[in-house]
Amino acid sequence: MTIPTAHGTFTSHVVSLKKRKTTPCLFLLPTLYAVIAHTLLPDTDSDLKKRWKRKRMEKTKRKPWFWIWATASIIFRLILIYFPRNLNLSSRPEVSTPLTSLRRLAEGYWLKQASMSPYAGSMYHGSPLLLSILGPLTVKRIEGQPSNLLCSLLFVIADFISAMLLRATGQNLQMAYNKSMKSLGLVRPLESSEVLSSRDIAALVYLWNPLTIVTCVGSSTSPIENLVIILSLYGASSGLVPLAAFGWVMATHFSLYPAILVIPVILLLGYGPDAPPRKLFLQGNSDKIGDNPSTDSYYQHKEVTNQPAVPIIFSWKPVLHFLLWASIWSFYVLVLCGISVRKYGGLLEMFKRTYGFILTVKDLSPNIGVLWYFFAEVFDFFRNFFLIVFHVNILFMILPLAIRLNHRPCFLAFVYIAISSMLKSYPSVGDSALYLGLLGLFVHELADMKFSFFLFCGYVGVSLLSPVMHNLWIWRGTGNANFYFATAMAYACLQIILVVESVSAVLNHDRMLRKLPITKP
Amino acid sequence: MALLLRPIVSFLFFFATIAYGSVIEEEEFSEELLLKPLPDRKVLGYFHFESKAPPTNTYGRHHRLFPKAIYQLVQKFRVRELELSFTQGRWNYERWGGFDPISSSNAKPPGVELWAVFDVPEDQVDDSWKNLTHALSGLFCASVNFLESSTTYSSPDRSFRPFSGSLRYGTLPREAVCTENLTPWLKLLPCRDKAGLPALLDRPSIYRGFYHSQWLHLTSTESGSVGVESGIVLEQTLTVVLQPNTQRTSKTYSSDAVIQPSWSVSSIFGRKVSGRCVLAKSSNVYLLLEGGLVSEVKNLQKENEKSGAGSIAIEGFWSNPGFELSVIPDRVIKEVSSLHSKSSSVLYEFLIEKYSDSKPFDLGFTWKLPVVWSCPQAPLHASRFLMGSGNERGAIAISLKSTELSGGILGADIIEDSCRLRVDVFQVVPWYVKVYFHTLQVFVDEQPQTVTDVVEKIRVSPSEDKISPGVMEMVLKLPCDVKTAALTLEFDKGFLHIDEYPPDANQGFDIPSAVISFPDFRAGMHFLEDNSSNNSPMLSKFQERSPVLSYSEVLLVPLTTPDFSMPYNVITITCTVFALYFGSLLNVLRRRVGEEERLLKSKAAKKTGRLPELLSKLSAKLRGRPWEPPQSPSTSSSLISRKLIFKVTLVAGIAAAWQYYSG
């Protein structure tokens, strides 16, 4: 058996299932279901039937539990949608940034309807495609219903799909992980004790995260941006190259920052989903040289029982496919955009108004990031310098992280998203919702993360304090910009701690994996 | 010789006059003053000066009367038309009238308003405008040069004036107007304020008034793209609303109406007119009594006649039961028929020529009975206000209320079924007021209407951050029997860079006045056809039928301010946090535990290539110690050397490419 590549995982599992399990009932089950079942089955099992039944019982017990909560979250959103006026979330700076505000989109659509460029004036800075999809929905009104009902419904659907894709990605990860663990001969220490699989946790965290709910209800286009990012990750993790390319191209088109996700996606396609460090497999191979006498006996034992681990090769084929598809999709998107902005200054104008707006931080209205206040205060002749510094800060960490975490592309994607949502020019809680959802996928790896309680409290505290400070400053006039900026600063610090601690926790986890064989025999 | 020449010259002039018709042949200057009692116990003074210069190609470049500065301005920037006003105070449309020529052309928004039409190709208009603002700023000692920035001026399309492309319009609502602006303005007059009517302009008494607006209007066909060249016409007006002293009128009458304070030229201006400016072609003072006042006075007269007391023959109307004039007017001009009121207004003319130092002109106006009247109003009274609280967003509302006088006018038209009242709205908003045009809502009689029903045309040029202001021009068609109409537009308040705030940032920012005009209605007075009225430029200007125009209030928008003392703190704190992030993340990535270290060491030992070997040999030699070969001999030296060669060639290649492209 080979170490799974993105392609290999899925098919090899199904094939092996079919080979091994001859029970007729299995053939009737949907493939996906079978795969889930397979991942949950311990391999060293003789009495298949019994175990299978037991697992199914467990699942039937467990599954409705997940679905109940998922539906509950959808219903909760639907209830909240009916009170947009009372909640007034759409104008919160935490929810809608100049890039994602639906109100600005409606203005852009109005301008376009008045045969003006949607980018005329400094209102709309989003994609022209989003404009033509969401624009008509902002105008359409159902009698007696809140004005943005249709858009909100769309966002609820987008949220739900995101959660499901997150779950599917989690499942891919889990499967691949179990596979590689098996090939290493390690039984996952946590598997027996898990109540809820990490994929369900991720999906539920995404669905029930108050930040996600607020973003969804508060009429901003972030749910759609999050959806395409997750779509890209899902496509890459399950080997669907066109889907991955599509997600990546759309995400980049919508908000530029996901462009850096090209590295995790390529790694995901090249090496397959997250696995323990490749050195472990290499060690297994180089055992014969015997530079590590303490593990000798174990590895020899392993080699008897299991197939020897073949060193992982970076498979170029899906990557090349991805690049091809990405260029096809981007060409397609550019053609579509070109058609829709043809009369209004063409693509150059579009890039200037979307990417240019993101990169030059022209809008200084307060948000939960730190750049607005920085650029409102900084001296004009330093402005360009600091613009470069802050954007290079994102780019600077790409390479070190990619080198260190190249065996965990999904986690790498999470770190990239977290870093960019911390340093991006117009951050909103929607970005945090995305990376917190992805965080759920790595629950087991991050189990011994430090400061997690502190971080949780910090997030709660900042999300309570920030609106209060905003209210004091903007509405009451009793506060000061510095108070609000302080909460933004605290939020940035929390994100920094989260990123640093999660990276160090994962690296420690990998170290522990390496030590595990030593302690085990 | 001279005697011989004169007829020839005059003959030539005569010919030229025939040939050019209306074309100016001589430099002309005229000065006029119009006084008008206002219903709310105030007096309107309206100075009107007009200088004309003939076209350059027939007359030459040297002028006797026409101000050189203005002539050069026109020549240099190829100005076709220009209007500049400096105003302090707000014209009270409800009390001081909104339908007469003075209110529609001389009631200006507070601060500076400037618009100009240029006779240059469209791509040079902006440059001309910028230069012009600087020139005017120097000329009038005002900060007109702030209009240079593209965020302050706009190029309206339709509703303001029918010029396309080459019109620029800008306002500075906060500009304080004072005597330093008046002095250069007076300098443009041939007699300055030394003689003639401008001598009345005593600074303390003018600036004590409720409203004063100095206005300059320039029309030129100098640059000659249009057929006939008529030269340059410079009109300067000064509109002041003054309150006469009220101490003399303590007597109250039976009704609650209080008698209006009597006034004289010397009491309101503090000076008397001691003769005309000798350079002026005509120098007249007019007293305008509005239709409402005239009819009221006539009613009084009739009552008096009934009671038998009015037996005094009233030949001239200047002495009647209502009021009395201290100077007998030289001429009485009556308005032919005014559209909007039952009675026509009356104009008394006084010729200043007859007065001199020894016998100064001092018109006194003494009220004898309390008279209550009202001024003609525009069909709709416009006011504008802000809605919402907080510094994040708000809404601008323009409300139009029908005036009681308009009912009568509109009543005449109402016979037609589809009677519609056209209202043009022109509004400029600065860029930091980010208007959402899709939130435009229209209410007619407090009922929300679909926008397309009411708004006939709309032209919007949305504001660009830090580049251009937002301009909105709308043509509304309201039903004639409309009581109230309102427009609302939502906006977000922008956040500025610390340098963009004015010194007193917490005072707020001004949104310039909206211009609301009623093109269906024309403000104009039509006087009895009299050949002498042609002489007076002011009266001929009154006879032009200009559209009724009114300006709304200037709005004050408070914007949020950052902490102005914080730049260093913000920069250092933010940078510290980012440095923390960068350092700690790199540290985590770089950190290795003991086992890894060992692995790395063994690997490093394995990987030692030829070059490090040589280096270590060299260092050993230098130190004078015997060289020790590394513990584990390299097994893959050939591979590594290949790698090394590859690296060296790569670096060399990059260097060569760099050389090639940069050199």
Burial class (CB in 10 A: 0-12, 13-18, 19+), A307: exposed
From the list B389, B462, B586, which residue is nearest A123 (CB)? B462
pLDDT at B60: 81
Q: What is the mean pLDDT of chain B?
A: 81
pLDDT at A32: 32
Quick check: B631 pLDDT over 80?
Answer: no
Work out the average pLDDT over A371-400.
91
pLDDT at B653: 93
pLDDT at A34: 33
Q: CA B188, B347, B253: angle at the middle one, nearest 5?
A: 115
pLDDT above 70 as % of chain B: 80
CA distance B84 to B113: 6
Quote the minimal CA–CA distance from B635 to chain A in Å. Answer: 13
pLDDT above 90 as % of chain B: 25
CB contact under 8 A, B495 and A365: yes
Beta-strand (E) ranges in A165-295? none
pLDDT band at B417 (very low <50, low <70, confident <90, very high): low
CA distance A159 to A162: 5
From the list A380, A492, A507, which residue is nearest B577 (CB)? A492
HSE-up (13 A, CA, CB side) for residue A424: 27
| A340-353 residue pLDDT tens | 888 888 889 999 99
| A57-69 residue pLDDT tens | 555 455 678 899 9
ipTM tops the 0.90 cut? no
C-alpha dist (Å) from residue B635 to A93, B16, B609, B615: 62, 112, 10, 19
CA distance A226 to A261: 13
Chain B residues touching A423 at Cβ < 8 A: 578
| A107-152 residue pLDDT tens | 999 999 888 889 988 889 999 999 988 888 888 776 666 677 888 8
* Range name among A3-12, A426-435, B415-424 with the lowest pLDDT average: A3-12
Quick check: B161 pLDDT over 60?
Answer: no
Burial class (CB in 10 A: 0-12, 13-18, 19+), B653: exposed
Which of B104, B111, B90, B87 is closest to B512 using CA atoms?
B111
CA distance B485 to B498: 39
From the list B495, B571, B573, which residue is nearest A489 (CB)? B573
Burial class (CB in 10 A: 0-12, 13-18, 19+), A281: buried
Chain A interface test: which of B391, B392, B603 (most A C-beta within 10 Å)? B392
**B42, B243 Cβ separation under 8 angstroms:** yes
Specify the DSSP class assigned to residue A444.
T
CB contact under 8 A, A500 and B585: yes
Work out the average pLDDT over B75-79.
88
Which of B80, B106, B350, B99 is closest to B237 using CA atoms?
B106
Which amino acid belongs to residue B374? Answer: S
Of B56 and A498, the structure prediction assigns the larger pLDDT to A498
Query: Residue B256 corresponds to which tokens in the numbers above?
Result: 């609650």
From the list B434, B495, B585, which residue is nearest A123 (CB)? B434
pLDDT at B626: 61
**B320, B301 Cβ separation under 8 angstroms:** yes
* Range name among B233-247, B437-451, B619-633 with the lowest pLDDT average: B619-633
Work out the average pLDDT over B225-229.
54
Query: Residue B15 corresponds to which tokens in the numbers above?
Result: 């010919």
Quote the minimal CA–CA distance from B500 to chain A in Å. Answer: 10
**A441, A414 Cβ separation under 8 angstroms:** yes
pLDDT band at A402 (very low <50, low <70, confident <90, very high): very high
CA distance B51 to B185: 13
Work out the average pLDDT over A96-104.
90
Quick check: A11 pLDDT over 50?
Answer: no
What residues have CB less than 8 Å from A87, skipping those under 6 apart? A80, A217, A218
Looking at the DSSP bridge assignments, the partners of residue B477 are: B422
From the list B463, B495, B584, which residue is nearest A376 (CB)? B495
**B430, B151 Cβ separation under 8 angstroms:** yes
Query: Residue B91 corresponds to which tokens in the numbers above?
Result: 């014209």
pLDDT at A315: 83
pLDDT band at B98 (very low <50, low <70, confident <90, very high): confident
Chain B residues touching A377 at Cβ < 8 A: 498, 562, 566-567, 570-571
Quick check: B309 pLDDT over 80?
Answer: no
- Window 82-111 of A, Cβ < 8 Å to B: 91, 103, 106-107, 109-111
Q: Where are the alpha helices (DSSP H) in A397-480?
A: 398-404, 409-423, 429-439, 452-470
> Is A327 in CB contact (< 8 Å) with chain B?
no
Chain B residues touching A422 at Cβ < 8 A: 581
Quote the minimal CA–CA distance from A51 to chain B in Å. Answer: 40
C-alpha dist (Å) from residue B338 to B1, B98, B341, B344, B528: 54, 14, 6, 6, 12
CB contact under 8 A, B495 and A493: no
Which amino acid belongs to residue B163? Answer: F
From the list B431, B589, B595, which residue is nearest A401 (CB)? B589
Work out the average pLDDT over B457-477.
89
pLDDT at A143: 65
pLDDT at B246: 67
pLDDT at A281: 72
Quick check: A295 pLDDT over 50?
Answer: no
pLDDT at B28: 86
Of A281 and A170, the structure prediction assigns the larger pLDDT to A170
pLDDT above 90 as % of chain A: 43
Query: Residue B412 corresponds to which tokens in the numbers above?
Result: 């005449």
Query: Residue B36 corresponds to which tokens in the numbers above?
Result: 């008008």
Which of B280, B104, B303, B119 is closest to B189 using CA atoms?
B280
pLDDT band at B651 (very low <50, low <70, confident <90, very high): very high
pLDDT at A303: 41
pLDDT at A253: 93
The length of chain A is: 521
Of A61 and B610, the structure prediction assigns the larger pLDDT to B610
pLDDT at B520: 82
Q: Is B327 left (phi over 0), alpha (psi -120 to 50) or beta?
A: beta
pLDDT at A4: 39
pLDDT at A192: 44
| B375-409 residue pLDDT tens | 888 888 899 999 988 888 899 999 999 886 544 55
* Range name among A14-23, A463-472, B275-284, B485-494 with the lowest pLDDT average: A14-23
Chain A residues touching B501 at Cβ < 8 A: none
CB contact under 8 A, B574 and A489: yes
Chain B CA closest to residue A518: B595
* Range name among A155-159, A294-298, B89-93, B526-530 with the lowest pLDDT average: A294-298
Work out the average pLDDT over A190-218.
81
Work out the average pLDDT over B153-169.
73
Q: What is the mean pLDDT of chain A?
A: 79
Quick check: A191 pLDDT over 80?
Answer: no
Looking at the DSSP bridge assignments, the partners of residue B332 are: B348
CB contact under 8 A, B438 and A106: yes
Work out the average pLDDT over B633-640.
55
A-B Cβ pairs (cutoff 8 Å, strict): 142
C-alpha dist (Å) from residue A229 to A132, A319, B27: 20, 18, 77
Domains, in order of start, for chain B: 22-249+258-376 (no CATH), 381-522 (2.60.40.1170)
Chain B residues touching A373 at Cβ < 8 A: 562, 570, 574
pLDDT at A90: 79
Quote the minimal CA–CA distance from B593 to chain A in Å. Answer: 9
What pTM was estimated for this model as a whole? 0.82
Which amino acid belongs to residue A136? Answer: P
pLDDT band at B222 (very low <50, low <70, confident <90, very high): low
Quick check: B111 pLDDT over 80?
Answer: yes
The CB density around residue B172, as the number of other CB atoms within 10 Å, is 22
From the list A120, A379, A422, which residue is nearest B462 (CB)? A120
Which of B335, B316, B333, B332 is closest to B324 using CA atoms?
B316
pLDDT at A164: 93
CB contact under 8 A, B391 and A109: no
pLDDT at B511: 92
pLDDT at B1: 41
What residues have CB less than 8 Å from B283, skipping those under 6 apart? B30, B31, B32, B196, B197, B276, B277, B351, B352, B353
- Window 141-160 of A, Cβ < 8 Å to B: none
CB contact under 8 A, A496 and B581: yes
Quick check: B569 pLDDT over 50?
Answer: yes
CB contact under 8 A, A377 and B562: yes
Query: Residue B451 corresponds to which tokens in the numbers above?
Result: 């926008």
Work out the average pLDDT over B464-479.
89
pLDDT at A266: 92
Chain B interface test: which of A279, A377, A384, A491 (most B C-beta within 10 Å)? A377
